[in-house]
Amino acid sequence: MLRNQRHQFNIPDEVAYFNCGYMGPLSKVAEEAGIKGVMQKSEPWKMTPTDFFTDSDIARGLFAQLINADAVDIALVPSASYGLAIAAKNIPLKEGQKILVLDEQFPSNIYCWQERCHETGAEIKTVPAPKDRDWTRAVLDQIDSTVAIAALPNNHWADGGLLDLVKIGAELRKVGAKLVLDVTQSLGAMPLDVQAVKPDFLIAAAYKWLLGPYSVGMMYVSPNNQNGSPIEYNWLNRAGSEDFSGLVNYQDEYQNGAVRYDMGQRANFALMPMAIATLRQILNWGVDNIYTNISATNSRISDAVRAFGLTSVPTEFRAGHFLGLEKAGGFSPTLLADLAKEKIYVSHRGNSLRITPHVYNNEDDCDRLIDALSRLSGN
């Protein structure tokens, strides 16, 4: 089992930060990499054309390793919404077809599909929140031959409700539908294997569970979707861009694989070193180990708070790294601020008090959270 890793972060002892689902903290190695990256721009005479490719390709390779893909299948994007817009632009859709989404899904994975529906006459089909909390069954029940795309997460962003993407992916393939995943709220903390799930597009912003910088994201594109159009027509992702003296020999061809979808200025000299440092650290810890560590923290909290009437999605239907606490009658509107006064940080999303720990949360953090909820979560 992965031991507590708080020593790798600059988190003060008195801070109990249970809000990785809001914003993951940078670890010390990522901070150092970022500072070096910033300083590099002060000495541009040391930057060579090769530098426009090196870090981008290292980041692609590390992200690919995380999901069991090849580096050439990874595009560099600035946000989840950017990657989702690429997926939305490139999947054919027509009137009468449906796009499957979850009730109260995160908006970055809704607006692009609404736009496509306006353009094509297709419709969004929202899977209602299942009373028995089994999102997998609820999604499977809605898959039929009218579904052209399922645009889903691995777990619901409010309460952590889990989707079995292997089962869902297999069912979608039977009706010829595409699978687009926004795994911003899980990748890095929960294992995912694209060879098993077989998504068409999979996107993650790096600033939450990947513990990376803001404005960096990565996108896996399956080989059969690598002939589409990017949403920016930049020079770096065209064939032969390595030769800076030949850039005005304009090229119709792109670089290989998913690289054609890269954002403009993807070689971000300040941010990419941080993303690389954090991806290395996550791979070094091992995602299975991270998941086990965080799941144990959440189990401990959910077991303890049951005593004062706080419940959550049953374990078999909940992502282990994500705990949404619920209370009959709802939580006090001042609860978040009351907890913050004690330097305990969580979120409120939908009906859930969202507890999202990581490997830096120690026993003291848990004791303080449980104690505070015993005093403050009543009405």
Binding site residues, ligand PLP, CB under 6 A:
79-81, 106, 108, 153, 157, 182, 184-185, 205
Instruction: Give 63 or 106: the residue with its C-beta nearer to ligand PLP.
Output: 106
3-state SS, residue 248:
coil
Nearest to 204 by CA among 177, 227, 185, 222: 185
Half-sphere exposure (CA, 13 Å, Cβ side) for 154? 23
CA angle 115, 121, 123 (to 5 degrees): 75
Query: By C-beta, is 72 or 150 nearer to ligand PLP?
Result: 150
Calculate Rg over the CA atoms of the chain.
21
Q: If you write DSSP's letter for every residue of 253-320 in order, what string do you get?
A: PBPSGGGGGPPTT---TTHHHHHHHHHHHHHHH-HHHHHHHHHHHHHHHHHHHGGGT-B-S-GGGB-T
* 225 Cα distance to chain centroid: 20
- In terms of CB distance, is 72 or 313 closer to ligand PLP? 313
124 vs 126: CA distance, rounded Å: 6
Closest approach of ligand PLP to the CB of residue 155, in Å? 9
Of 181 and 366, CB closest to ligand PLP? 181
**To the nearest whole angstrom, how small is the minimum distance from the Cβ of residue 101 to ligand PLP?**
12
The least CB distance from residue 108 to ligand PLP, in Å, is 4
Closest CB to ligand PLP among residues 159, 182:
182
**Token couple for 51:** 């530098």
Report the nearest approach of ligand PLP to the CB of residue 60 (Å). Answer: 18
Q: Which is nearer to ligand PLP, 143 or 205 (CB)?
A: 205
Are 225 and 200 in contact, with CB atoms under 8 Å apart?
yes
**Cα gap 295→299, rounded to integer Å:** 6
Nearer to ligand PLP, 184 or 312 (CB): 184
Min dist. Cβ of residue 284 to ligand PLP (A):
25
Helix, strand, coil proportions of the chain in percent (round to 5)?
Answer: 40, 15, 40
- Count Cβ neighbours within 10 Å for each residue of 5-23 and write b for 16 or more, e otherwise: bbebbebeeeebbbbbbee
The conformational region for residue 121 under phi > 0 = left, psi -120 to 50 = alpha, else beta, is: left
Residue 22 · residue 350 · CB < 8 Å: no
- In the complex, least distance from residue 157 CB atom to ligand PLP, rounded to whole angstroms: 4
> Least distance to ligand PLP from the beta carbon of 301, Å?
21
Whichever of 84 and 177 has its CB closer to ligand PLP, that residue is 84
Measured from the CB atom, the residue of 52 and 106 that comes closer to ligand PLP is 106
Closest distance of CB 82 from ligand PLP, Å: 7
Q: Any residues with CB less than 8 A from the CB of 33 and at least 6 apart, and which?
A: 273, 274, 276, 277
Least spacing, CB of residue 112 vs ligand PLP, in Å = 10
Give the separation between CA 155 and CA 133, rounded to whole angstroms.
12
